[in-house]
């Protein structure tokens, strides 16, 4: 398991928490349609739905770290080409392998074939643009499309942020992150207007989803700047641990408040979906800073080997868990126990027992070889950069 930084273990553990939240969300999502008790408590398990937002915050934080370090030092601006190569090696092999498997499996078992447009949009991770392809093969793919689309604009945002910090224009940095939130809300409002008009706009999903979730990535990027400032930047000599602890505790309180707000169905408000996603992103960014800079007990708990292991295979778990749970595990648990609330814990236990080994196999086959290739290439680039002429 990688330990390339002081707090990487705890971030692996936080990633493990994110995927476990997603698994629980899919579990309760299935039983909300078959179990009356789960249906009545649907607003109470809103917290599980925020696991995806935690993934997005972590992506924003980790991917922005090299840019944050460049902003507060004389380091060169990270290469966009190398960034793209590393992201492609990390994401695409496991994704394409699972896509091929799902297409073949569904086509053979249901005697139906997917159209070229459907497969093509999934192949280039643009399936989240149209309603017809949004969740047609594997519903979990919608977030992976958002993730990759975020990669395309991250270097452009980084250029603006890094150049502003190097010129000590911190007000401009605040304006950049504020603009991200404004663009998100504006895009959602424009989408609602266009869908009211109807016509060809009806075939598209509401709002380009990458823009809708961009503020969630944005608070992760902002947290990255705070982390570098506190660890090796202008705040390095200040004792701000109490501040980071307060932020972490505040993030937990905000998550609790969001669960309460969900009881009154905030998401039914026209901009409710945008609001709860952005607020949960703020909560998780605060918790992240509380983990890496504030509460040592949180850092230690998230650094335990079992949760780091879940974090290590979390990408494969994310790809496979929904289909395995809802199409294979939970229907069979229902047949054995004939309904009832006991199905929920049993379904979770059996699901984890099936999903974890499968995800480990997927990680070893489709992720680890390319992670090794990515690290070898990075090491060679570091060695070449250190060589002097002659």
Cα 191 from Cα 197, distance rounded (Å): 10
Residues with pLDDT less than 70, the chain:
1-7, 34-44, 111, 195, 198-203, 205-208, 263-274, 339-340, 372-390
User: CB–CB of 65/224 below 8 Å?
Assistant: yes
Q: Is the pTM of this model over 0.85?
A: yes
For position 252, what pLDDT does the model report?
Answer: 95
Cross-strand bridge partners of residue 130 = 204
For position 6, what pLDDT does the model report?
Answer: 45
Question: Three-state SS across 179-204?
Answer: HHHHHHHHHHHHHHHHHHHCHHHHHE
Which phi-psi region, left, alpha or beta, contains residue 75 (left: φ > 0; alpha: ψ -120 to 50)? beta
User: CB–CB of 99/137 below 8 Å?
Assistant: yes
Q: What are phi and psi of 214, to 5 degrees?
A: -55, -40
Cross-strand bridge partners of residue 204 = 130
Q: pLDDT tens, 306-365?
A: 999 999 999 999 999 999 998 899 999 888 877 667 888 899 999 999 999 999 999 999
With H, G, I as helix, E, B as strand and everything else as coil, classify residue 118: helix
Q: Where are the domains of the chain?
A: 8-386
For position 88, what pLDDT does the model report?
Answer: 93
Query: Token pair of 257, please?
Result: 């408040």
């Amino acid at each position: 398991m990688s330990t390339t930084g002081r707090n990487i273990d705890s971030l692996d553990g936080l990633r493990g928490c994110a995927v476990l939240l997603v698994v629980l969300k899919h579990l309760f999502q299935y039983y909300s349609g078959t179990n009356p008790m789960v249906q009545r408590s649907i607003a109470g398990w809103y917290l599980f739905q925020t696991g995806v937002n935690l993934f997005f915050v972590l992506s924003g934080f980790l991917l922005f770290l090299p840019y944050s370090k460049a902003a507060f030092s004389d380091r060169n601006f990270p290469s966009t080409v190398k960034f793209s190569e590393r992201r492609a090696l990390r994401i695409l092999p496991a994704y394409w392998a699972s896509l091929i498997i799902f297409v073949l499996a569904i086509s053979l078992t249901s005697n139906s074939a997917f159209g070229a447009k459907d497969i093509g949009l999934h192949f280039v991770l643009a399936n989240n643009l149209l309603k017809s392809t949004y969740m047609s093969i594997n519903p979990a793919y919608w977030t992976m499309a958002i993730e990759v689309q975020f990669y395309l604009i991250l270097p452009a945002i980084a250029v603006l942020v890094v150049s502003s910090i190097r010129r000590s224009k911190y007000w401009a940095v605040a304006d950049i992150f504020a603009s991200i939130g404004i663009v998100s809300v504006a895009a959602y409002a424009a989408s609602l207007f266009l869908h009211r008009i109807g016509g060809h706009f009806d075939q598209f999903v509401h709002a380009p989803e990458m823009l809708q979730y961009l503020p969630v990535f944005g608070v992760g990027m902002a947290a990255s700047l705070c982390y570098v400032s506190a660890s090796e930047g202008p705040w390095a000599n200040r004792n701000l641990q109490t501040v980071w602890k307060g932020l972490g505790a505040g993030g937990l309180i905000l998550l609790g408040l969001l669960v309460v707000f969900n009881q009154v169905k905030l998401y039914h408000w026209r901009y409710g979906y945008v609001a709860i996603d952005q607020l949960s992103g703020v909560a998780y960014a605060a918790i992240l800073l509380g983990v890496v800079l504030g509460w040592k007990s949180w850092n230690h708990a998230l650094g335990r080997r079992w949760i780091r292991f879940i974090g290590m295979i979390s990408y494969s778990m994310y790809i496979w868990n929904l289909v395995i749970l809802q199409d294979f595990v939970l229907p069979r648990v229902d047949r054995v126990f004939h309904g009832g609330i006991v199905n929920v814990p049993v379904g979770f236990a059996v699901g984890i027992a099936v999903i974890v080994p499968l995800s480990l196999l997927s990680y070893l086959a489709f992720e680890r070889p390319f992670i090794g290739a990515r690290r070898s290439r990075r090491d060679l680039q570091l060695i070449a950069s250190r060589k002097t002429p002659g």
